[in-house]
Structure 1
Amino acid sequence: MNAQRVTTFDDLRLDDAPEYGGKSANLGEMTGAGLAVPPGFAIGQSAYLEAMDAGGVRARLHTERVPEEGLTEAELIARSQDLTRTVAQVELPARLRESILEHYRALGTDVPVAVRSSAPAEDAGDTSFAGIHESYTDVVGGDALLDAVRRCWCSLWSPRAMTYRAVSGYDEEPSIAVVVQRMVRSDTSGVAFTADPRTSQTDRVVIEAAFGLGEVVVGGKVEPDTYVVAKSDLRILTAHVGRKVARIVAGRTGDGLVPVPEEMQTARVLDDEQVRAVARLAMASEAHYGTPQDTEFAIEDGELYLVQTRPITTLAGRATAGDPAGGAGDDGTATDTDVDPIVEGLGAGPGTATGRARVLRELA
């Protein structure tokens, strides 16, 4: 086992995505650019393949990588459970095990970490495995870390992952890399877009923030604060304070959601200087990648971290300053609003789609 299958973010760049997955490679790229990224390391997909090889199960896994057409739901679940058990029983080779623990100890003593799957194919142009495989947060201790790595490997063989490989025509040997990153126990967190995702104006940064971990924002669990900042001079153009009724606290069992005290629910999450600091960090990400970015940030004990960045893919015609996307009013909102909405809520992302709604009652 090559110990170099385990590598710190310092030594990873975008070109390393085939071995370490898009998520790991991007964290390495951000680290190399000098952005404030929480430290961590990645375990390459070759480590998984070599472990399965050493355990004598790689050939069988390759044969059963994609379920054949006509398999019933019960048969698929039974096969998934069998293959998952097979992977779970494989011992980590001694050198890999020690390399993982050595990199973990370098982060500190029993540091809480996030352990996330990072499939090499998740950022390919014709497949999107993001969200298909498992990730774990608040993992503490060497034994728990090794168990979480193994469970990430097992998630290659969930019914969902196997079905996705079948419907997407993915016939290569399945493999998976794993990201291990120090947990940021966020006091506040959120997202920052370096262009307005609603109007496609590129002269501003749009920030959404809430208390606690960022899942409450990206998952639409609360109404976040929204701040709009001019790129030219970091003026705060608007500051809308949302009602944050709940937050996610690191280390809590279950979904981690706890109520926000009533007096805090309508308090600003970020002060003016924090808003500008988030905008500057997001703009530094855009400057490095050369395209508008959708970033995720977290603030712990006054320290600001960038925990993810990706290109914004929904900009309509790349409108510039004072030029909202076509089909919008002067304030950038849609003008066709003469019909009563069926439901209302917080949007997970911009865009419009049409089609028949279907209720899915079973996995198949």
Structure 2
Amino acid sequence: MSALLWLDRAGCDDPRRVGGKAASLARLAAEFPVPPGFCLPVDARGDADSISSALREAVARAYETLGARSGSDAPAVAVRSSAVDEDGALASFAGIFSSYLNVRGLEDVLSAITRCWASARDPRVRAYRARRGGDVDAGIGVLVQALVPADAAAVVFSVNPASGARDELVINANWGLGESVVSGLVTPDTWILRRPGLAQLQFRVGDKLQMTVRDDKGTREVPVLRTLRRRPCLTDGQARALGELALRLEERAGHPVDVECAYADERLYLLQCRPITTRVASS
């Protein structure tokens, strides 16, 4: 088994070694505000998704180090699947593999790791891979990151995913953690900005009835306070900063991107960046 790898250190940028999601974030960690974390490489997965004593000790040390970096003995983390064929230009696997938020304590982290491994055997995953001519048994890594206690979260498309317009950038956002936006649980606030100057073309405030928050057992959905439902969850300045980030990421990647971000205490964090896999209009 290979050693665990930290996102901000050498060796974590090979998707064949750590999976697509982890490799993508590792390549961005030096330049962009990516939360700290470590990766279990693809070859760490044991028979029957078991965790060896050596791997348990390695995860315990890394989790302790992550806690020291965040100032907590039992830091809240996100445990995220990272398959070798995930977040590519042809298939994103968005929402298919398992991820777990607000995981605390070593035992719960280890349990979440094994569940991420098990998600690779899910019939939906195997069917998705088979439809695209991929390897149904492709490897999977696991990413453990410090959880961002988001006040608001957003998904940003560097081109308009509905119309395909390349001169429009779209932001969807809601209060709390990003799951309510990614899953389509709510009607989010929506900004449409004109590229490249990011002038605001349109803003629609969403009727944000629910939000995802942390609780003692992970996360849950709660009603949004009435005073916040029709109040924009981002300032125009924050929306513009998201647009600027997405344009930088698109320029770096060389293709349109789908970006997940969060704001906590007015600080912006990059949680994920993947290609937009739907067709977009020609420039």
- The alignment's TM-score, normalised by the length of structure 2, stands at 0.86
Structure 2 contact 97–120 (Cα < 8 Å) conserved: yes
CA change 1:208–1:91 in 2 (3 A) is: closer
Q: Deviations over 1:224-264 (max 9, x none)?
A: 11112233433323222111111111226586111111121
Write the distance in 2 (CA, Å) between the matches of 1:12 and 1:240: 43
Q: Which residue of 1 aligns with 2:23?
A: 25
Report the CA distance between 1:162 and its aligned residue: 5.5
Q: Which structure carries more strand by proportion?
A: 2
Q: Which residue of 1 aligns with 2:53?
A: 93
Counterpart selection for 2:40 from 30, 40, 43: 43
Structure exhibiting the larger radius of gyration computed from Cα positions:
1
CA change 1:194–1:161 in 2 (3 A) is: closer
Structure 2 contact 74–105 (Cα < 8 Å) conserved: yes
Counterpart selection for 1:181 from 129, 136, 145: 145
CA change 1:282–1:170 in 2 (3 A) is: closer
Structure 1 contact 14–22 (Cα < 8 Å) conserved: no
Q: Does 1:237 align with 2:234?
A: no
Q: Deviations over 1:280-299 (max 9, x none)?
A: 11122112112221111101
Q: Does 1:192 align with 2:156?
A: yes
Counterpart selection for 1:314 from 272, 278, 281: 278
Q: Which residue of 1 aligns with 2:62?
A: 103
Q: Any residues of structure 2 matched to 1:207-286 within 5 Å, and which?
A: 207-251=171-215, 253=217, 256-286=220-250
Write the distance in 1 (CA, Å) between the matches of 2:220 and 2:227: 21
Write the distance in 1 (CA, Å) between the matches of 2:281 and 2:213: 39
Q: Any residues of structure 2 matched to 1:264-343 within 5 Å, and which?
A: 264-319=228-283
| Structure 1: runs of 5+ lacking an equivalent | 53-86, 320-364
Structure 2 contact 25–272 (Cα < 8 Å) conserved: yes
Write the distance in 2 (CA, Å) between the matches of 1:7 and 1:206: 34
| Structure 2: runs of 5+ lacking an equivalent | 68-72
Write the distance in 1 (CA, Å) between the matches of 2:87 and 2:177: 25
CA change 1:133–1:99 in 2 (3 A) is: same
Q: Deviations over 1:70-94 (max 9, x none)?
A: xxxxxxxxxxxxxxxxx25x44132
Q: Which residue of 1 aligns with 2:14?
A: 16
Report the CA distance between 1:201 and its aligned residue: 2.6
Q: Deviations over 1:35-77 (max 9, x none)?
A: 11111111101111xx33xxxxxxxxxxxxxxxxxxxxxxxxx
SS at match of 1:250: strand
- The alignment's TM-score, normalised by the length of structure 1, stands at 0.68
Structure 2 contact 25–34 (Cα < 8 Å) conserved: yes
Write the distance in 2 (CA, Å) between the matches of 1:128 and 1:182: 23
Report the CA distance between 1:31 and its aligned residue: 0.9
Write the distance in 1 (CA, Å) between the matches of 2:128 and 2:181: 27
CA change 1:307–1:12 in 2 (3 A) is: farther
> How large is the RMSD of aligned CA atoms in angstroms?
2.7
Task: State the identity %.
Answer: 40
